[in-house]
Amino acid sequence: MKVSAVFKFRSPEIRALHLTWIAFFITFYVWFNMAPLASSMLKSVDWLTTDDLKLFAICNVALTIPARIIVGMALDRFGPRRVFSVLMVTMSLPALAFAFGNSMTQLLVARLILSSIGASFVVGIHMTTLWFKPKDIGFAEGFYAGWGNFGSAIAAMSLPTIALSMYGGPDGWRWAIAQSAIVMAAYGVYYWFAITDGPDAQAHRKPRKSAAMEVSSWGDMIKLIIWTIPLVGVLAILVWRIQYMGYLSVTGATIAYLAIIAIVIYQIVQILRVNLPILRKGVPEDDKYSFNSVAALNSTYFANFGAELAVVSMLPMFFEETWGLNAATAGLIAASFAFVNLVARPMGGMVSDRMGNRRFVMLSYMFGICVGFLLMAMLNSSWPLILAIAVTIGTSVFVQGAEGATFGIIPSIKRRITGQISGMAGAYGNVGAVVYLTIFTFVTPSQFFYIIATGAFISWVICLVWLKEPEGAFDDEYYVSSVDRDIEEQALQNAKH
């Protein structure tokens, strides 16, 4: 697939790609609509403090992790068209509740529920998979994610202007947020009627069970359980931070910890319920896949997307303090790290498509991240600023490219459960962000860069040992097993009755 193909708007798959990245763009625009308006909120609401906004920022990512897992399951069962539309319409309600909230509780609960909108990323990944062939999927996924992520940057640039110029007054920020919520709800309705789940009815293949990911061996089931625990367990870090900030009592924190333990146990029970009957019956040889590859890609997204979110959060202050810049200049330079996403992520997917070996591309990008962050760890005021900027942008190219390469592999691992695999890997990106941001509160910027370089190297080793080149990763059609055909035939018979 060539870059020029994205301008062929009459092509059904290109139209689907554009409709889907716009949906993703809007959801990220709404998800990150608070930070640019923070100062306006503080001036407008006299009982709101900067600590309250820090709490809201934590809540803004709190439920994204479990939401990505749940939405991943829903995708395989209901298809991305329904899930994306329902997600956009329902999430507009907490966005509106936040816009017109008049109490601390209302704002907090609204922002907490709204954090689920971060699951939109995996929905579009699945939809793109249904429309594009294996040989083109890397670039298509990279283009979708790169342009969709741009929604957060556009929110930062446009919302203050909308609040001040279009609405004005102390409640301008409220109407700016409300406007973004209404646009999202309207696009959710439009998306329902404008797109289908792939070019034909056979594109969306359902798993046998959607409550948990299917595996192919007893050993893989144990590995799935081990890799599932951190997904929910990481919420304990968020609870600890909220309690540490004084917003949660010991009793409240204890209840939250017990709830997290209960959810982990529930997830393990679901894994056993889905997989014990399958493994006892036996998995046909042509339907087997290696969970090691899923685990390896979980680690890459932890190390690249998790690092990206963490670095973006600390980079402005790093440049400001290290080179004595003013806040505006430092912010502009730091923004280059995220801005590169627009080109670097599609490029990562395209390289994955064209090199003929997706595993080699993944390993190369992860090694590049190690080197990039090691160089950033050595940055200090003795470095020329222009060279420091070049190192930062170069590292970002590898980070975003690795993200594109990760989702260039996922659709070819096991087509029937692409939604669940995407959801798990996507959730691990947020786990990485929570872990890295928590670590950053205890170390210097230099130590922090060494730590995330080490995280990338560990992921590189995991990929070297566990990641396998997916079967048929460059074919015209996705691999179909005997179980896939049985499920499809059973679905057709059920439809006739």
The pLDDT value given to residue 205: 66
Q: Give the CA distances from residue 10 to residues 5, 16, 189, 401, in Å, rounded to whole numbers and listed in that order.
A: 10, 10, 22, 28
The pLDDT value given to residue 212: 83
The pLDDT value given to residue 440: 84
Report long-range pairs for 130-133 (Cβ below 8 Å, ≥24 apart): 130/80, 130/197, 130/198, 130/203, 130/204, 131/12, 131/13, 131/16, 131/17, 131/198, 131/199, 131/203, 132/1, 132/13, 132/17, 133/475, 133/476, 133/477, 133/478
- Planar angle of CA 476, 480, 483, nearest 5 degrees: 170
Q: For 197, left (φ over 0), alpha (ψ -120 to 50), or beta?
A: beta
Tokens of 308: 């990206």
The string over 419-429, giving b where at least 16 C-beta atoms fall within 10 Å of a residue's C-beta and e elsewhere, is bbbbbbbbbbb
In eight-state DSSP terms, residue 166 is: I
| Burial class of residue 4 (count of CB atoms within 10 Å of its CB; 0-12, 13-18, 19+) | exposed
- Nearest one of 347, 364, 408 to 137, comparing CA atoms: 408
- Nearest one of 30, 19, 158 to 87, comparing CA atoms: 30
Residue 69 CA to residue 75 CA, distance in Å, equals: 10
Q: What is the mean pLDDT of each run of 10 residues along the chain (497 residues)?
A: 79 94 94 82 86 81 81 84 96 96 90 90 88 85 83 80 85 93 97 92 67 90 94 87 84 92 92 93 89 94 88 80 81 75 81 84 94 95 92 91 86 82 87 85 90 96 92 76 80 69
CB hemisphere CA count around 203 (13 angstroms): 20
End-to-end CA distance of the chain: 41
